[in-house]
Amino acid sequence: MTENILRGISLALGGSPYEFEGKMVGDPFWVMRIIGYPGVNQENDIGWVKTVTFAGLLTLINQDDDKTALQVRNLAGDWISAVPIPGSFICNIGDMLKILSNGVYESTLHRVINNSPRYRVCVAFFYETNFDAEVEPLDIFKEKYPRNERSQVSKRVVYGEHLIIMEGVPWIKDNPTWGMLFLASNDPKRQIVKCDDPDMMEDAGVAEVVRKLDRACRDVGFFYVVKEVTHQFFELPYEEKLKIKITPAAGYRGYQRLGINFTNGKQDLHEAIDCYTEFTQGKYGEIGKVLEGPNQWPENPLEYKELMEEYIKLCIDLSRNILRGISLALGGSPYEFEGKMVGDPFWIMRILGYPGVNQENDIGCGAHTDYGLLSIINQDDDKTALQKGEKLGR
């Protein structure tokens, strides 16, 4: 993701998509901090004691959706809260990108104040240059912005040395910071999808995203990268969704239209994309023949297949680790569920869309238990819909 964002930034600065690649970022150094901020009772308790900019290129921040704690300072010296948007990352510009852009883009002064009484967690991924890279303004940006007053670069900076100094010495940056813009695109995957295309700027959607990206980077250096693409599929016209319609010939994989699914003999009010483990023909004999075939993925949103296949890998790893914990909780070793029983697990994924309803007894999916081992559910953050029954008399 960070590599693709950098390509968009390179375009926004007026270069090719690849200005930041090669010797400068061919072997990037990265840092990840998983940070916990305890809840506080006093308004001026600061969760992170420094008011800082980051040392590297870009930082992706995945924060709790229900606590506002990250703040950035604007031109007037006021602190503006970065209100969480569910299903998004915050992206922050660091010192090395400020240098490489010849000061056109600002590394952002920010801080964290958790005024909530509840514990806050965030995962910060810092994407950097090569550790030993000698960083100075790139020639193309020196030519494009020769008299940029915000450039304070007088000599080369070795990234690794800069990092050690920054981490070892308390400091506060003097650089001015500017207004704040949260970037969201109607097609948030565009800037990532086309990043291998040198002619990507010919796409009007990409050009619009790059324009917004440039404004965000010049103004402050914080913007949101929205990752929720599933809503986009269900918002497509019905005819478009039918391009991957479930059929027996497709192994019952693909799009299931609204009202086709039944639970306990009652019609469910949802639509879905059904996916299963792909396996070679004949592997499970006659019993598995009905499910033979490749998964069907929509062409729109773009890169949906790649995104979901990566998501599936993460879910498989997560499920395996949860099962090990359950095995321990039952008094066994961590590996009781592995081997012949779950050595080659079969998985199912249903990507479900539930339309809004006006009647209380409209049921998106009827009462049932799941028939496998574990189910991992990733649901909208702002809607309460899933219910569970009592242990007896479900």
Q: Could you report the per-residue pLDDT of 114-135, keeping only the tens digit for each?
A: 777 788 888 888 888 887 777 8
Rounded-to-integer distance, Cα 365 and Cα 349, Å: 16
CATH entry 3.60.20.10 includes domain 232-353: no
**Average pLDDT of the segment spanning 150-172:** 50
Alpha helices for 242-356 (secondary structure H): 285-288, 304-329
Mean pLDDT of the chain: 75
How far, in Å, CA of 189 to CA of 153, rounded?
Answer: 34
Name 124's Cβ contacts closer than 8 Å, sequence gap at least 6: 32, 33, 35, 59, 60, 61, 62
What's the fold here for domain 2-226? Jelly Rolls (2.60.120)
Q: Which amino acid is at 83?
A: V
Is pLDDT larger for residue 243 or for residue 232?
A: 243
Question: What is the average per-residue pLDDT within 229-242?
Answer: 89
Look up tokens 């339309």; give the residue: 355
Distance CA 108, CA 48 (A): 15
pLDDT of 41 higher than 70: no
Do 2-226 and 232-353 show the same overall fold? yes
Select from 381, 349, 73, 96 the least CA-distant residue to 226: 381
pLDDT on residue 13? 85
Q: What does the pLDDT read at residue 131?
A: 76
| Measured CA angle at 297 (ends 293, 300), to 5 deg | 160
Cβ contacts of 162 within 8 Å, gap of 6 or more? 55, 95, 96, 135
Q: What percent of the chain has pLDDT over 90?
A: 13
Q: Take residue 269 and report the two structure tokens written for it.
A: 């009010």
Question: Residues 326-353: pLDDT tens digits?
Answer: 888 888 888 888 877 788 889 999 999 8
3-state secondary structure (DSSP) of residue 378: coil
φ/ψ of 97, rounded to 5, equals -70, -35
Least confident among 90-94, 223-227, 228-232: 223-227
What would the mean pLDDT of 26-43 be, rounded to a whole number?
78
Give 239-275 as a 3 state SS string: HHHHHHECCHHHCCCEEECCCCCEECCEECCCEEEEE
Quick one: average pLDDT of 154-182?
43
- Average pLDDT on 163-181 reads 35
Q: 392: exposed, middle or buried (C-beta count within 10 Å: 0-12, 13-18, 19+)?
A: exposed
| CA atoms lying within 13 Å on the CB side of residue 302 | 12
Q: How many CB atoms lie within 10 A of CB 10?
A: 23
Asked if residue 245 has pLDDT above 90, the reply is yes
* Domain boundary assignment for the chain: 2-226, 232-353
Confidence band (pLDDT; 50, 70, 90) for 359?
A: low
- Hey, what are 286's tokens? 């006659």
Burial class (CB in 10 A: 0-12, 13-18, 19+), 63: buried
pLDDT band at 32 (very low <50, low <70, confident <90, very high): confident
Assign 169 a pLDDT band (cuts: 50, 70, 90). Answer: very low
* pTM score: 0.51
3-state secondary structure of 226: strand
The larger pLDDT score, comparing residue 55 to residue 240, is at 240
The 10 Å Cβ neighbour count of residue 339 is 8
Pick from 62, 52, 59, 50: nearest CA to 88: 62
Task: Tell me which residue of 380, 378, 374, 354 sits closest to 365, measured CA to CA.
Answer: 354
Angle between helix axes 204-219 and 2-12 (nearest 10 degrees) is 90
3-class DSSP state of 4? helix
Question: Which is higher by pLDDT, 302 or 63?
Answer: 63
Answer whether residue 279 shows pLDDT above 70: yes
What does the alpha-carbon distance between residue 346 and residue 4 come to, in Å, rounded to a whole number? 33
Asked if residue 77 has pLDDT above 80, the reply is no
Q: What is the pLDDT of residue 194?
A: 47
pLDDT at 96 over 70: yes
Q: Which residue has the higher pLDDT, 385 or 55?
A: 385
Q: What percent of the chain has pLDDT over 70?
A: 74
Return d(Cα 55, Cα 95) in angstroms, integer.
5
- The helix or strand, by DSSP H or E, that contains position 7, with its residue range, turns out to be helix 2-12
Instruction: Report residue 292's pLDDT band, with 50, 70 and 90 as the boundaries.
Output: very high
Is the model's pLDDT at 225 over the cut of 70? no
Q: Note the pLDDT of residue 171.
A: 28
